[in-house]
Amino acid sequence: MVTFSHTDAGTDEAAWAGSALAGIGELPLGPDELAGMTFILLAAHPDDESLGAGGLLARLSGAGAAVEVLLCSAGEASHPDSPTTTPEQLAAVRLAEFGAAMSVLGLAGRWQFLDLPDGRLAEHRTSVTNSLSLAVDRHPGPPERLVLVAPYREDGHPDHEILGTVAADVADAGGHGLLEYPIWYWLWATPEQDAWRDWVRLSLTGQEQRAKRAAMLSHSSQVRPLSGHPGDEALLTDRFRAHFERPFEVFAWRHPVSGTRSARDAEGVFDAVHSKAADPWGYEDSWYERRKRSLTLAALPEPQYDAGLEVGCSIGTLSAELAQRCGRFLAVDASGVALLEAARRLAPHPGAEARQLTVPRQWPDGRFDLIVVSEVGYYLAPSELAELFDRIAAALTPGGTLLLCHWRHPVSGWELDGDTVHALARTRLRWPTAALYTERDFVLETFTGPEPVHGA
């Protein structure tokens, strides 16, 4: 575990502001999604909720989402050397401050105090788990519509870490989403460490920033000295609070798991989808789809390719444009119904072909200097996705282009989401990212295949 003290100077907010932190992907949950979900937040001590997730709580309150906050301890151990205030007195003060912060965030009466000892939550793991499980049971509904919010599991504070671990275990068992909020991480970590690069940010409105700041200042016993005596110093200094006055909040996000379908289900599922509508995802008319297609084509680093492969071509709207950039082009999909339309679109291109294949079990022969996998990776089981990347590694010519593009929101009925697909690509292939574009709805990433090692 990381060793630090609140008195440490730590990493200044200027260092984080000078990093790429503000450019990480947005939390892939829009206003309508948030309003239709349930959120249960765990706080180890009063003020954790305001520092780490005050903006999120203000957003949820304003959206009318179902929210419950579980406060585990009263934070009575925050000033162990105070000559003026006993732990019992401090507990009463801090509980009142917490109630005030909840009111500021629009959550009065929507919290529960578990009355566990500050600094010793690891000894009461079973109690925390039981209380969280009961809270989950109080909010019936589809498991994927419930998100647990907890301190970051590697935050460096033992109380924070045990809550994060419990929340992760309960989320795993129930298929729920998980948001982890860092607090002390911003003090002891540095931008050179990589954990935060896979996190997400929630951009806050001016009103949400003001609500968060007011909630933080509600914890007077922490932001101001209890007295002028040694041992009564303010714990949350202006310098430390600067980490939480950004126009966004940062979370480690794990999507809910709403199903266990895999490639073996793809043909039946997507034949049914395409049989009901000629263009089920609005590829031709949707501005989202047309814009994403233009960005995809613009992201290709070469004007022309010798041989291109598109995995998961659907009805071929992107295929027809990719074919114009390739001497030979093959579009594959599991759905025979979709491929009828894809073949029609590709007919004007002499070097283009549409073929029914269910990847990764089935795979075309030959090598390609362009492989595109768009909106298909999360329709595979994790083991199938790993096999797909192995197939790609064997089929891509040295220095060739791999382009991935995926929707970032939870995908109902399937185990993976877009962010996970891209993270697994980086881990499995170990190819450096050549270009990356992320917004709330989708992530677009290109990789350059490695050149052969001379003499190998």
Residue 154 makes CB contacts below 8 A (sequence gap 6+) with 2, 161, 164, 185, 195
Say if CB 188 and CB 152 are below 8 A apart.
no
One domain, residues 246 and 341: no
pLDDT tens-digit series, residues 271-288: 787 777 778 778 888 999
One domain, residues 123 and 50: yes
pLDDT computed for residue 6 by the predictor = 74
One domain, residues 278 and 238: no
Instruction: Classify residue 3: in a domain, yes or no.
Output: no
Instruction: Classify residue 5: in a domain, yes or no.
Output: no
Say if CB 128 and CB 116 are below 8 A apart.
yes
pLDDT computed for residue 205 by the predictor = 97
pLDDT tens-digit series, residues 71-101: 999 999 999 999 999 999 999 999 999 999 9
One domain, residues 247 and 279: no
Say if CB 56 and CB 37 are below 8 A apart.
no
Instruction: Classify residue 7: in a domain, yes or no.
Output: no
For the chain, give the number of residues: 456
Say if CB 402 and CB 373 are below 8 A apart.
yes
One domain, residues 245 and 269: no
Q: What is the DSSP string of 61-84?
A: HHHT-EEEEEE----TTS-TT-SS
One domain, residues 246 and 342: no
pLDDT tens-digit series, residues 153-175: 999 999 999 999 999 999 999 99
pLDDT computed for residue 273 by the predictor = 74
pLDDT computed for residue 455 by the predictor = 54
The tokens for 100 are 């005030």
- Separation of alpha carbons 410 and 416, rounded Å: 8
One domain, residues 191 and 322: no
Nearest-5° Cα angle at 254, 253 to 255? 115
One domain, residues 217 and 274: no
Say if CB 99 and CB 69 are below 8 A apart.
no
With residues binned 3-state (H G I as helix, E B as strand, rest as coil), the percentages for the chain, rounded to 5, are 40, 20, 40
Instruction: Classify residue 122: in a domain, yes or no.
Output: yes
Omega of the bond leading into 360 within 30 degrees of 0 (cis): yes
Nearest-5° Cα angle at 424, 363 to 256? 110
Instruction: Classify residue 4: in a domain, yes or no.
Output: no
pLDDT tens-digit series, residues 109-133: 999 999 999 999 999 999 999 999 9
- CA quadruple 156, 157, 158, 159: dihedral, nearest 10: -140
Instruction: Classify residue 456: in a domain, yes or no.
Output: no
Question: Which structural domain, as residue segments, surrounds residue 181?
Answer: 13-254
Say if CB 449 and CB 400 are below 8 A apart.
yes
Domain harbouring 151, CATH code = 3.40.50.10320
Percent of the chain with pLDDT over 90: 85
Among 7-16, 216-225, 326-335, 339-348, the minimum mean pLDDT is found in 7-16
Residue 68 makes CB contacts below 8 A (sequence gap 6+) with 38, 39, 40, 41, 110, 111, 112, 135, 138, 139
Band (pLDDT 50/70/90 cuts) for residue 329 is very high
Instruction: Classify residue 23: in a domain, yes or no.
Output: yes
The tokens for 55 are 């903006």
One domain, residues 229 and 358: no
Count of domains in the chain?
A: 2
pLDDT computed for residue 274 by the predictor = 72
Say if CB 105 and CB 58 are below 8 A apart.
yes
Q: pTM (2 decimals)? A: 0.84
Band (pLDDT 50/70/90 cuts) for residue 452 is confident
pLDDT tens-digit series, residues 224-268: 999 999 999 999 999 999 999 999 999 999 988 876 776 777 667
Domain harbouring 367, CATH code = 3.40.50.150
Pick the last residue of a domain from 189, 222, 254. 254
One domain, residues 382 and 286: yes
Average pLDDT over residues 301-310: 98
Average pLDDT of every residue of the chain:
94
DSSP 318: H
Helix locations, 27-113, DSSP H: 31-35, 48-63, 87-104
Average pLDDT over residues 371-388: 95
Q: Is the pLDDT of residue 453 over 70?
A: no
Q: Which residue has the tokens 């529960």?
A: 112
Backbone torsions φ then ψ of 270, nearest 5 degrees: -85, -25
pLDDT tens-digit series, residues 381-406: 999 999 999 999 999 999 999 999 99
Residue 247 makes CB contacts below 8 A (sequence gap 6+) with 203, 204, 209
Instruction: Indicate the helix (H) or strand (E) that contains 445.
Output: strand 442-448
Pick the last residue of a domain from 224, 254, 284. 254
Band (pLDDT 50/70/90 cuts) for residue 1 is low
Instruction: Classify residue 8: in a domain, yes or no.
Output: no
Pick the last residue of a domain from 194, 220, 254. 254
Nearest CA-CA partner of 256 in 371, 372, 410: 410
The tokens for 132 are 């969280």
Q: Is the pLDDT of residue 456 over 70?
A: no
One domain, residues 108 and 249: yes
One domain, residues 140 and 281: no
Q: Is the pLDDT of residue 5 over 80?
A: no
**Mapping DSSP to helix (H, G, I), strand (E, B) and coil, where does residue 111 land?**
strand
